């Protein structure tokens, strides 16, 4: 299974661009975005993270589907506003998955054989042997490799993606490079965040 990002929706682009000018307004309005607004958004969005000048990027909300291995999820969960809308569940579905095909190609085949064997052993235990079945299920959950992939629908914003991009664009994991490639496809993302691979 490969790392993949699909069904992406971006919300609030125009209203966030307009809001970037609120600190200098004496009259609050929601007139259409003009060249002045775009120029200001580019200048503010490209400022250093943490200064607060790029706060308008929070208003550009991104919802998307992503399938990733557990080792990637552990890193992604470090970010403050990178939220699950809903995800696949190992608790509900681990026994239903074809575990081998749910893992990245680099997962050791010997480990996959062991996990499949544990799954078969679990299925062979009669339902009335609840304690034995539970112990075997725990063994299966604990033995599932980090290369096991789960899908989720996520929500975030451009400000958080800016941080993720800048921290992960040179990362050792190829999944982060794919993630940054996806960010590059978002409307005005590079322009409003100053993010690039250079």
Average pLDDT estimate for 142-146: 95
For residue 198, the model assigns a pLDDT of 67
- The answer, as to whether pTM is greater than 0.85, is yes
Q: The dihedral of CA 13, 45, 194, 182: what is its sign? A: negative
Reading the block at residue 45, the tokens are: 């969005």
CA separation for the pair 58, 98 (Å, rounded) = 39
Distances (CA, A) of 160 to 34, 77, 170, 191: 25, 12, 17, 15
pLDDT digits (tens, 9 = 90+) for 60-117: 999 999 999 999 999 999 998 999 999 988 877 888 889 999 999 999 999 999 999 9
**Candidate from 7-21, 46-60, 171-185 with smallest mean pLDDT:** 46-60
pLDDT of residue 23 exceeding 80, the answer is no
pLDDT of residue 25 exceeding 70, the answer is no
Q: Report the relative pairing of strands 83-87 and 149-157 from DSSP bridges.
A: antiparallel
């Amino acid at each position: 299974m490969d790392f993949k990002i699909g069904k992406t929706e971006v919300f609030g682009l125009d209203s966030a661009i307009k809001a970037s000018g609120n600190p200098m307004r004496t009259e609050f309005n929601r007139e259409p975005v003009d060249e002045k607004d775009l120029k200001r958004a580019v200048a503010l969005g490209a400022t250093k993270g943490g200064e607060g000048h790029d706060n308008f990027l929070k208003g550009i909300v991104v919802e998307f589907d992503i399938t990733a291995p557990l080792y990637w999820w552990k890193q992604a969960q470090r970010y403050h506003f990178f939220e699950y809308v809903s995800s696949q569940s190992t608790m509900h579905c681990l026994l239903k998955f074809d575990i081998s095909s749910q893992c990245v190609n680099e997962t050791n085949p010997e480990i996959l054989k062991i996990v499949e064997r544990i799954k078969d052993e679990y299925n062979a235990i009669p339902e009335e042997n609840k304690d034995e079945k539970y112990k075997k299920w725990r063994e299966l959950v604990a033995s599932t490799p980090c290369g096991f992939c789960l899908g989720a629908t996520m929500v975030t914003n451009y400000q958080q993606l800016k941080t993720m991009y800048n921290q992960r664009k040179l990362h050792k994991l190829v999944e982060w490079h794919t993630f940054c490639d996806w960010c590059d496809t978002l409307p005005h993302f590079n322009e409003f965040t100053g993010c690039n691979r250079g």
